[in-house]
Chains A and B, each alone.
Chain A
């Protein structure tokens, strides 16, 4: 069953078209990787999916509901079922890691402070950051920031997790750890993950399904095996160069 359904989406910023007739799906319980070179429109697509920017035309359905025409209150109820891991973590810098993780719990649940504290510890434990709960984001390394942001993204046990370049800028070992964590989330919590990336090793490790984008258009959708045997030169080059690097 498709949880994310994008059909013929065209969008952009300030009158400049970035995405042209993009269509893709993400199946429930799978990790779908949206691949492509820098500037191909991956992050724009993510911003469309969480309505940070509006689509110019086309349809986006999340959990079988059209989100492009929803009012804010309706979309907020959809957002409660979604977690987003931003490229640079996007943790609030003025508050501690634990307070960051607490935000969705405090805002969207009526749980008591004791339960929220316990949940924060559970999420931080999951990302192996218990010891950093009282630290400010500025005191964390790049990998720790990503993991803390992941803890916040999964605070409400979302059914759908969007990750924007989760392993970009991390060393291979930290990347592998983060990938393992995403796999755990899918397997243990049954999360559907849509991951935007250009890190080929990461895709090969965890993705079930790939959407390959090029210059604002979808070039290919299918399994990794199908992608590798697609015979499309850009995809072959992408995988070759990605694994060589």
Chain B
């Protein structure tokens, strides 16, 4: 962490009326890290992700990406700089096919949208299908999104985020709404797909501590908009505050 961080949040604050969603948050993420953001409902995890991606503007503090202040930039500009995200409820194009969803992501990434260059040209399709293969979605390529089960939608949501070749990928609860048996295979698929993007920093919001322990290199725990732990999973998950406010283990004892 001594090198210049990829992302740096400095004294970031956000309130919604009387509710403090973020209080003096200081977070630094290095290139290539796999970080999990944990916390109970309302702890401020998604608010933090929304502030990084420009959906919400902080009331105080600054967010820098590769040294550049992105606090007041639009989501679109932030994506263009290299920050992509997936959503807790997958944000897809329901009436389009899986392949067309990927082609839209491809086209948006090119930024200079053409009025005459075909969206379904060979190279774009090849690139889209390569990513679909990595996410085990190739069999669904022709299906419309509205016909897909929840887990497949989650994977597609993440695959689309990866199309823009992000330096920082934010995954908001990638396994929520997925059955317990499907969670690990799904995370295996995601991590395997991310395997060739070693320089991509991944910050994922997660509620399942088994998932966190297995896939994160570092854990940041939130409670009432504050960071109560920031360490490797073994130590972070064993911290008293995390056991009391996040996992609830101390309350049960």
Indicate, yes or no, whether A interacts with B.
Answer: no
